[in-house]
Amino acid sequence: MDRSELEALLHPDSLRLLSALRDENPLGDASSLVTSLRKAGHSPEIVRAVVGQWGLRDKAFDKFGDFAARMLFTKDGLEQATRLAVSSHHAGRFQTAGIASVCDAGCGIGGDSVAFAGIGLSVLALEADEITAALAAYNLQPFEGVAVRHATAQDADASGYEALWCDPARRSSSQRLADPHDWSPPLEWIFEQARHKSSGIKLAPWMNRDLIPEGLEAQWVSHHGSVAEMVLWSGTLATENVTRSALVISPRGTAQLGAATDSLDAEVGELGDYLIEPDGAVIRARLIGDLARIHHGVMLDESIAYFSTHKPVVTPLAQCFRVEEVVPYNLKRVKDLVSRANLGSLEIKKRGIDVDPHALRAQLSLKGEGEKTLILTRHQGSRIAVLATREY
């Protein structure tokens, strides 16, 4: 979005039309909306701005819920914004720590600041890109105690704010910046601030773990089965005696697991009545062994993230499957296993076996009515196929 597009979007006519579209909740595609707006006499600039936002808002409801109806977006800003369900948990950390004010250094379109301001924190939202800062100012205007500034984190004076939240820009145009020194602000600058001020630093979940400073809590966050981010917490925002943690937010509930360090794997043992798949956040945090021991489980293999138990495991931190039948893995045996099960629907999961689930599915006969999960993995070095029923 350039300045002329921003001016068209913030034009009173555009904002009135967007408000009307929100209230009327019109059905139809973008082309029909363009036609109706042009027939009503609106300029091409206004039409482009309104239709663009109409499409982005439709996608934004997945991240921001009802808040999306009164926010403005850019495509990149929406893609990079934290989901409100996740940022609300982050804001809760600040509240639990007794922090009343936070500097959001690199606020983007203001997604995290919405969560901070929503629970009454005083917020200084900084954004280096002028157009994005303007959208953040619009999105945050309903909240008291929020100041939005077009400034870099390094240039602004945030000394009056108790804590720091930073989501550094890791892209330049459409390119991902591999070197943390090129991020905005640079990662080393952020770490220096975190040594002196309670901080939350949002980073990619795949970031090199060797870059994590000692003494910080590294928390991997999963939302509805997808690991969305890693957050480094310092000062009063960090959990005492915890350097590795997992936060799982799912339709089945929310749960956390933490430890003083990476956990050792549980012992390898026999496949029991249930096969357990830890959530990706637990795997990324390297807390599989702790989770397995909590549920009296054993690992299937030294290099596989599954573990097994004799009782069902009910937690958002993992998926639980009841083992129905196990055979050595090869195509003939898998075909026979599936055909005998009289299935109409089959979920295929794999870990530790090089197989294309889509290609395999095309070779299987599903002519029944049942529903099962086929898990292809290794058990004590041997490849196996497990037919299972999803329990949780």
Tell which residue, 221, 287, 301, has the closest CA to residue 255: 221
pLDDT of residue 25 exceeding 60? no
Q: What is the pLDDT of residues 232-258, one digit of tens each?
A: 999 999 999 999 999 999 999 999 999
Q: What is the pLDDT of residues 110-142, one digit of tens each?
A: 999 999 999 999 999 999 999 999 999 999 999
**Residue 23's pLDDT band (cuts 50, 70, 90):** low
Tell which residue, 229, 232, 233, has the closest CA to residue 249: 229
Q: What is the pLDDT of residue 32?
A: 84
Q: CA-to-CA distance for 263 and 297, rounded, in angstroms? A: 14
Q: What is the pLDDT of residues 253-300, one digit of tens each?
A: 999 999 999 999 999 999 999 999 999 999 999 999 999 999 999 999
275 or 174, greater pLDDT? 275
Q: What is the pLDDT of residue 28?
A: 55
Work out the burial of residue 324: count CB atoms within 10 Å of its CB; fewer than 13 is exposed, 13-18 middle, 19 or more buried: middle
Tell how far CA 100 is from the center of its chain.
Answer: 25
Mean pLDDT of the chain: 94
Q: What is the pLDDT of residue 215?
A: 93
What counts of helices (H) and strands (E) characterise the chain? 13, 18
Would you say 111 and 84 are in contact if contact means Cβ atoms under 8 Å apart?
yes
pLDDT of residue 176 exceeding 90? no
**Residue 58's pLDDT band (cuts 50, 70, 90):** confident
Q: What is the pLDDT of residues 201-243, one digit of tens each?
A: 999 999 999 999 999 999 999 999 999 999 999 999 999 999 9
pLDDT of residue 75 exceeding 70? yes
**pTM of the complete model beyond 0.85:** yes
Would you say 204 and 229 are in contact if contact means Cβ atoms under 8 Å apart?
yes
Sign of CA dihedral 34, 78, 98, 124: negative
Structure tokens at 226: 């997808």
